């Protein structure tokens, strides 16, 4: 009986079940998600400007983020974003998972000699999504606030897909033109979401180009063409009039202060994943797997990395990270919100895992036998199953599910009244706190349990909750309501 139970819980299927159990609440929260103030900016523009006029405004007068502007306009067209806001967080989660799965498929096929099964690739892709949710500084802005998610999570999805097609381009002699075209399209789109992502892509592209030209005497045309096009996309983004107009609104700080802030934030971002048990266990499993599968890479650049000592690899990692963070903080005048640090944090966590894999697959380490320190490998699936829940995010999920249920009830009633109201009459809407008290009283007619009362009154920490009732332009141009009275004490009698 015990052995049968042990076999069940220490299996790939059980791990997949646990991953689904961890991710399911995130999808539930997506259905309870509602727009916040900044999400309505594009909807207001959509009421008065054409698609091309909005793109012109974004590029020449606001942020220069051409891909973001186009996709946000498309989403807000006809009010689709505000009627179906719940779709987008789930969509970002699903697209992130499938981008990981696609790229893992290319890595397995072209680089790992098909060492991973479909089930194992699915597990790895799902674990990467779980890892992102573990290590990024701010989940709510990365997935549940559309404006921020489109700005920062969408380019990560494009970047992961681009990695997959780059592998196909350089490892598969068939379909070169197709893969080259897709890489260019993805590169162009990824550069147009925000200036930080554009700069990160340029730094990575520069490092890869230098390594390719130094270690490879052949096939230089395609890398040079790709880099040249990436440089053009970078300039289109970074030298857009809108970006510089937006930049002028930030207060100037000294070069030294910005540098110090950049170094401090680089250290803080590293700590966000270094303190996570799941990330450390993934490091251990990557090392063990790599030791068992040595000699996979024929690339001279990879072999050069494998020959570096641990101290030199750490120095290379620190140097590359600071090359990214310091210029970003100088350009941002020392001010970068947490949502903008989510993607760099996750990429740094992945880059360390990649360096661990390269180092331990070098052939310099003796493979483990079944008797040598194999307990971790033997119980790896159950350990993964436990560690995905060892995070403060688990507690935040519980609070957000309980509080989110009531938040959903309040916001659903409010939006139904606003969308279905007779625009010629005065509309009365309860402010959020008052509406929440009424909803709690309906659910608990006698008394709310103390613990639940505290959790419910705190707004869902994983949802981006920002009330917009006081914004007259939103109420008028998006919902079409001319006369709105916000009821802060009690609902007036005989009013609708």
Render pLDDT for 236-290 as a digit per residue (tens, 0 to 9).
999 999 888 877 767 777 889 899 999 999 999 999 999 999 999 999 999 988 8
pLDDT value of residue 370: 42
Residue 428: strand pairing partners: 485
- The residue ranges of DSSP E strands in 296-406, in sequence order, are none
Q: Which two tokens stand for residue 210?
A: 């230098």
- Residue 371: what are its φ and ψ, rounded to 5°? -95, -20
Q: What is the mean pLDDT of residues 363-371?
A: 61
Q: How far apart are the first and last CA of the chain?
A: 63
SS (H, E, C) 453-472: HHHHHCCCCCCCCCCCCCCH
- Residue 486: what are its φ and ψ, rounded to 5°? -90, 120
- Residue 479: what are its φ and ψ, rounded to 5°? -90, -15
User: Is residue 491 predicted with pLDDT exceeding 50?
Assistant: no
Render pLDDT for 25-35 as a digit per residue (tens, 0 to 9).
999 999 999 99
pLDDT value of residue 179: 96
- Residue 241: what are its φ and ψ, rounded to 5°? -60, -35
Render pLDDT for 40-76 as a digit per residue (tens, 0 to 9).
999 889 888 999 999 999 999 888 999 999 999 999 9
* Rounded-to-integer distance, Cα 135 and Cα 278, Å: 9
- Locate the domains of the chain by residue range: 2-34+85-245+252-390, 395-487
User: Is residue 167 predicted with pLDDT exceeding 70?
Assistant: yes
* Rounded-to-integer distance, Cα 381 and Cα 385, Å: 6
Residue 430: strand pairing partners: 487
Q: Decide if 21 contacts 130 (C-beta within 8 A).
A: no
* Rounded-to-integer distance, Cα 119 and Cα 430, Å: 50
pTM for this prediction: 0.92
pLDDT value of residue 217: 67
Q: Decide if 189 contacts 158 (C-beta within 8 A).
A: yes
Q: Indicate the pLDDT class of residue 292, thresholds 50, 70 and 90.
A: confident
Q: Measuring CA to CA, how many Å separate 99 from each of 52, 76, 126, 158?
A: 30, 24, 11, 8
User: Is residue 496 predicted with pLDDT exceeding 50?
Assistant: no
Q: Decide if 154 contacts 92 (C-beta within 8 A).
A: yes
Please state, rounded to an integer, the average pLDDT across all residues of the chain: 89
């Amino acid at each position: 009986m015990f052995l049968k139970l042990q076999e069940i819980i220490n299996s790939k299927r059980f791990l997949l079940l646990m991953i689904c159990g961890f991710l399911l609440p995130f999808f539930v929260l997506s259905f309870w998600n509602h727009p916040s103030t900044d999400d309505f900016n594009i909807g207001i523009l959509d009421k008065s400007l054409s698609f091309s006029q909005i793109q012109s405004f974004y590029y020449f007068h606001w942020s220069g983020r051409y891909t973001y502007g186009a996709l946000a306009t498309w989403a807000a067209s006809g009010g689709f974003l505000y009627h179906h806001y719940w779709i987008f967080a789930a969509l970002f989660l699903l697209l992130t998972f499938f981008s990981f799965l696609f790229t893992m498929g290319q890595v397995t096929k072209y680089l790992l000699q098909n060492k991973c099964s479909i089930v194992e690739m699915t597990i790895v892709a799902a674990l990467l999504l779980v890892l992102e949710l573990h290590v990024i500084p701010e989940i709510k802005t990365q997935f549940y606030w559309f404006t921020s998610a489109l700005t920062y999570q969408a380019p990560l999805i494009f970047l992961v897909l681009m990695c997959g097609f780059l592998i196909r381009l350089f490892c598969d002699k068939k379909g070169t033109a197709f893969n080259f075209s897709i890489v260019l399209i993805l590169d162009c789109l990824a550069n147009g979401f925000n200036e930080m992502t554009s700069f990160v892509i340029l730094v990575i592209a520069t490092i890869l180009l230098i390594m390719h030209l130094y270690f490879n005497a052949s096939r230089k045309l395609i890398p040079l063409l790709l880099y040249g096009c990436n440089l053009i996309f970078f300039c289109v983004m970074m030298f857009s009039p809108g970006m510089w107009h937006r930049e002028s609104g930030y207060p100037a700080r000294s070069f030294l202060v910005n540098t110090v802030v950049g170094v401090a934030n680089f250290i803080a971002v590293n700590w966000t994943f270094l303190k996570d048990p799941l990330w450390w266990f993934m490091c251990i499993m990557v090392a063990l797997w790599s030791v068992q599968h040595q000699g996979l890479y024929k690339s001279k650049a990879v072999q050069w990395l494998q020959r570096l000592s641990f101290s030199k690899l750490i120095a290379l990692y620190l140097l590359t990270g600071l090359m990214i963070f310091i210029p970003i903080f100088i350009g941002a005048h020392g001010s970068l919100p947490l949502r903008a640090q989510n993607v760099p944090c996750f990429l740094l966590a992945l880059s360390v895992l990649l360096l661990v894999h390269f180092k331990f697959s070098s052939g310099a380490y003796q493979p483990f036998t079944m008797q040598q320190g194999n307990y971790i490998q033997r119980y790896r699936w159950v350990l993964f199953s436990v560690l995905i829940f060892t995070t403060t995010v688990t507690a935040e999920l519980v609070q957000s599910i309980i509080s989110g249920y009531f938040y959903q009830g309040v916001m659903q009633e409010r939006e139904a009244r606003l969308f279905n109201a007779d625009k010629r009459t005065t509309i009365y809407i309860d402010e959020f706190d008052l509406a929440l008290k009424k909803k709690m009283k309906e659910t608990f007619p006698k008394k709310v349990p103390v613990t639940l009362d505290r959790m419910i009154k705190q707004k869902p920490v994983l949802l981006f909750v920002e009330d917009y009732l006081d914004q007259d332009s939103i109420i008028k141009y998006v919902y079409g309501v001319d006369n709105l009275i916000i009821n802060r004490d009690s609902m007036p009698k005989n009013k609708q």
